[in-house]
A = this chain, B = another copy of it.
Amino acid sequence: MDLNFYMPTKVIMGRGCITKQAALLKEYGTRALIVTGMNSAKTNGSLQDVTEALQGQGIAYDLFDRVMANPTVACVYEGAAYAREKQSDFIIGIGGGSPMDAAKAIALLAVQDIPEEEVFLGKFAQQALPLVLVPTTAGTGSEVTPYAILTNTAGQTKTSIASPAAFPKLALLDAQYMKALSMEVTINTAIDALSHAIEGMLSVRATRISDSIARQSIQAIVPSLVTLSPDYNKPASEIPAQVREMLLYGSMLAGVVISHTGTTAVHSMGYSLTYFKNIDHGRANGLLLPSFLRFVMKKEAAVVNQILSAMSFSSLDDLEALFLRLLGERERITVQDVEKYAGIAIKAKNIMNSKVVPEREDLIRMYERSLNIV
């Protein structure tokens, strides 16, 4: 039995954990740079909890709140320059995947000089500013991974940068910030997390330990996901606290899984839907996942059956019905779009990571099955 496990982030989860664990922040220095998006951290209470915790500990802080959805390389270089200017000792990222990934890239780039055009070559020295992450969605799992996903304009896709130095030192998980999310974001991010856990089991790098964490994650997410209303206008504050907590717990575990396994063809295919069609990342994965599972089922039924068993589903029809209910009408794309996206996805590095590697024709069929072709 060959396996490996490495996840050095200290994870603390619980209601009010930022306030209760404020003293931990002193370990990382006397001046923090808070990295976040423009709005959500201000309205969901997380930014206030962080700044009060810092003030209580006598830690100075600066704010970089210009992270957009699907952050660009330019954005993280701007943040890194700001961290250097302010001589920040450590970075606190607050938000969903975009601010957390930007914070991670900023923590790396604040202490090493890499030309912007070489950021995707992955030649990072093993150093970064200490990083604390506060997820306010339950999807990306970025709080426990060494990955930062950035928009790759030259490659017309999203590309992951990774370095062991980019593992956060501390992740503080408080599900009450998720009350402020829309139902739509709650669903899309939960499906993203579920996709991580499932893709982890479909990866060639899956091991006994990553599979056991993936099953735990699936068992936390699916019973919660089935309770969610597909009415996108409903506020997520109606979701019971326990469901939010299980989603946040499950997404963290799924992050641990992909730290070890990487993602697979679902993510490779999804990036084009986000890059060209502005389809939310989690939704893109959700649209594609059932088709990929059907594709794998033909050649490696055992692993798909293990996934179904962890979900307590008897067939892929159950999963497809759930996703149909939660995701609603599928986006329209053209045959030309499909050809183009398949051409990009076939070159993605995570495509080779799948236990059953699709060819270009397989990708085309999966896109066609997953979207409305016009």
Nearest CB of chain B from residue A259's CB, rounded to whole Å: 12
Q: Which A residues from 293 to 323 make CB contacts under 8 A with B? A: none
A14 and B10 contacting across the interface, CB-CB below 8 Å: no
Q: Does A125 touch B at the CB level, under 8 Å?
A: no
Known: A7-B7, A8-B8. A249 touches B2 (CB 8 A): no
B3 and A13 contacting across the interface, CB-CB below 8 Å: yes
List the B side residues contacting A12 at CB < 8 Å. 3-4
Question: Which applies to chain A's interface (DSSP): helix, strand, loop or mixed?
Answer: mixed
A249 and B208 contacting across the interface, CB-CB below 8 Å: yes
List the B side residues contacting A10 at CB < 8 Å. 4-6, 8
Smallest CB gap from A246: residue in B = B1
List the B side residues contacting A4 at CB < 8 Å. 10-13
Nearest CB of chain B from residue A1's CB, rounded to whole Å: 5
List the B side residues contacting A6 at CB < 8 Å. 9-11
B249 and A1 contacting across the interface, CB-CB below 8 Å: yes
Smallest CB gap from A171: residue in B = B5
Nearest CB of chain B from residue A295's CB, rounded to whole Å: 29
List the B side residues contacting A192 at CB < 8 Å. none
Hey, what's the 0/1 contact readout for A1-44 against B, CB within 8 Å counting as 1? 11111111111111101000000000000000000000000000
Q: Does A245 touch B at the CB level, under 8 Å?
A: yes
Q: Does A127 touch B at the CB level, under 8 Å?
A: no
Smallest CB gap from A220: residue in B = B208
Q: Does A212 touch B at the CB level, under 8 Å?
A: yes
Task: Point out the residue from B1, B242, B245 that lies within 8 Å of A245, measured CB to CB.
Answer: B1
Query: 4 additional contacts, CB 8 Å, given A1-B14, A1-B249, A6-B9?
Result: A1-B242, A1-B246, A4-B11, A208-B249
Enumerate 15 A-B pairs (CB-CB under 8 Å) in ascending A order: A1-B13, A1-B14, A1-B175, A1-B249, A2-B13, A2-B15, A2-B17, A3-B11, A3-B12, A4-B10, A4-B11, A8-B8, A208-B249, A209-B216, A209-B253
* 3 closest Cβ pairs, A-B complex: A2-B14, A8-B8, A5-B11
